[in-house]
Amino acid sequence: MIKRSRIVGCGSYLPEKVVTNDDLARTIDTTHEWIVTRTGIHQRHVAAEGEKTSDLAINACRRALAHAEKKIEDIDFIICATTTPDQTFPATATTIQAALGMSHGFAFDIQAVCSGFVYALTVANNFITTGQARRGLVIGAETMSRLLDWEDRSTAILFGDGAGAVVLEAIDGNGTLEDQGILHTLLHSDGQLNEILHMTGGPGSTKCVGSMVMNGREVFRHAIEKLGGAIEEMLTHFNLTEDNIDWFIPHQANERIIDALAKRFTFAPEKVVKTISQHANTSAASIPLALDAVVQKGCLKKGELVLLDALGGGLTWGSALIRW
């Protein structure tokens, strides 16, 4: 008998304000058609003035707790993956902890940009499977709109705000592929590639946030290569084929990246979860938002195999295989 962790509740939250491509085209030199053709994005949600990353996360956590039929007293830890913390310190996870009325356990943030949720899930899984905790909230939450230069058409069109959360809980397993819960996670990074996607500032260097620098073509190329590599590695680890995967839930950065991966691995379109058209790229929030979208529709059935796959600045990337 071994310990596994499984997702027992999901929740998400999107800010009310929606900004369409046509809205953007009123202030920058772009068109709805260009954005849809190159990225698949139709609209993004944007936080209201004063609405913080923690506000989005708190709403997502309340929904995840309700979905799991758990109270905050049942939770041992909170891990929040975010690139857009409310403050330089303390961790946004502790702000969420306070708002949820929790003063026991522990809470901290993880920064792996768009891979943040897969990193956070991995760390949470390790706490649970080593017996250090029984149940935790794992969050991906972002207000990417705060990082953007809204006049830079090369990046302003790509991102959105939102939050997703899951309740992860200990369960007994046999150590086989038939177990329910997280079966395996893979994490990678290559700091030599941080130049292709980075911010020019930070508290320890310029004392301010800086602006986003992205070599779109290079990020695109590495995304296809590294996300594909992570899928390959996961399938090989378990001696599986793509036919064994019931749901593919990738980071939502660009529909063309998702479609290229789906084509390479011959995932049928109905197995591939895509929310990019409505949410744009919400960085660490994108996978839990996409997961919640299919969970709330009742699509995922007990026993199905779910593959998560993410890549972000760093570069960081990784995947997780879950038996639902």
Please list the active-site residues: 114, 251, 281
Distance CA 14, CA 163 (A): 7
- 248 - beta bridge partners? 272, 307
**Which residues form the interface with ligand ACO (CB under 6 A)?**
30, 34, 38-39, 114, 153-154, 157-158, 197, 214, 216-217, 219-220, 223, 253-254, 281, 311-312
Q: How far is the CB of 261 from ligand ACO (least distance, A)?
A: 12
Query: CB-wise, 192 or 239, nearer to ligand ACO?
Result: 192
Backbone angles phi, psi at 192, to 5 degrees: -65, -15
Q: Which two tokens stand for residue 83?
A: 């690139």
Distance between CA 69 and CA 67 in Å, rounded? 5
Choose among 126, 98, 123, 130: nearest CA to 109: 123
Nearest residue to ligand ACO, scored by beta-carbon proximity: 216
Hey, is 284 helix, strand or coil?
helix
CB of 130 to ligand ACO, least distance (A): 30
CB of 2 to ligand ACO, least distance (A): 33
Q: Name 182's Cβ contacts closer than 8 Å, sequence gap at least 6.
A: 4, 5, 6, 121, 125, 168, 320, 321, 322
Q: Give Dmax over CA atoms of the chain in angstroms.
A: 60
Using the minimum distance from each CB to ligand ACO, give the nearer residue, 150 or 220: 220
